[in-house]
Amino acid sequence: MRHAETLIRILTVLARTGAGIAFAVLIVAVLVQVVGRFTGSSPVWTEELTRFALLYMIAFGAGLSFRTGDLVNVDVVSESLPGRMPKALRFFSAAATAGLALVLLMPAWKYISIGRMQTAPALGIRMDYVHMTMFILLGGLALFAVLRCIAMLAGAEDGTPQKPEEE
């Protein structure tokens, strides 16, 4: 199980790094935009870059949110059930999340390939780089959900959200 913990730790660090870089880009773009408004020449590309950075931040953060329980949860109902039902519902929820995300990966890839023929008007970058956010989001959700299912089946965890150590 030590290998699985190491894998989860690596994936968590990668997702946090991606979300952090996207957040830093978002901050810089907004800062340039605000300063530009004071000087009278706010660059047009900042609006577009802000939206793209926000998409990447969400894409990298979705899997992390699943892991920590920060996504929308209806645990008031499930946790009030008797016996092993809460654990069974947590497993079903993780499996359903993984299944849906995995099913949507192929349509997301098609969406990315369509973006190859388009460019962003202000930045001039190919839109497949922007559309990649959908694939990252679905892949992260699927990955963290599958890992939760595996850990539950192995008895390493009970399926409750895993808060980071620093919280």
pLDDT single digits (tens) 53-102? 999 999 999 999 998 888 777 677 777 788 888 888 889 989 999 999 99
Contact between 60 and 140 (Cβ < 8 Å): yes
pLDDT at position 103: 97
Report residue 105's pLDDT band, with 50, 70 and 90 as the boundaries: very high
- What average pLDDT is seen over the chain? 89
pLDDT higher at 160 or 139: 139
At 154, which amino acid appears?
A: A
Residue 65 lies in a domain: yes
pLDDT at position 21: 97
pLDDT at position 74: 67
Residue 19 lies in a domain: yes
Q: 């849906």: which residue's tokens?
A: 100
The total number of structural domains that make up the chain: 1
Residue 60 lies in a domain: yes
For the ranges 21-30, 69-78, 111-120, 146-155, the lowest mean pLDDT is seen at 69-78
User: How many whole angstroms separate alpha carbon 145 and alpha carbon 142?
Assistant: 5
Report residue 13's pLDDT band, with 50, 70 and 90 as the boundaries: very high
Task: Please report, rounded to a whole number, the percentage of residues in the chain having pLDDT higher than 90.
Answer: 59
Report residue 20's pLDDT band, with 50, 70 and 90 as the boundaries: very high
Residue 161 lies in a domain: no
Residue 163 lies in a domain: no
Residue 150 lies in a domain: yes
Domain that includes residue 54, residue range:
2-154
**Half-sphere exposure for 161 (CA within 13 Å, toward CB):** 17
Phi, psi dihedrals of residue 84, rounded to the nearest 5°: -90, 0
Contact between 53 and 23 (Cβ < 8 Å): yes
pTM for the structure as a whole: 0.86
Contact between 95 and 64 (Cβ < 8 Å): no
pLDDT single digits (tens) 121-145? 999 999 999 999 999 999 999 999 9
**Half-sphere exposure for 128 (CA within 13 Å, toward CB):** 8
Residue 162 lies in a domain: no
Report residue 1's pLDDT band, with 50, 70 and 90 as the boundaries: low
Residue 136 lies in a domain: yes
pLDDT higher at 155 or 59: 59
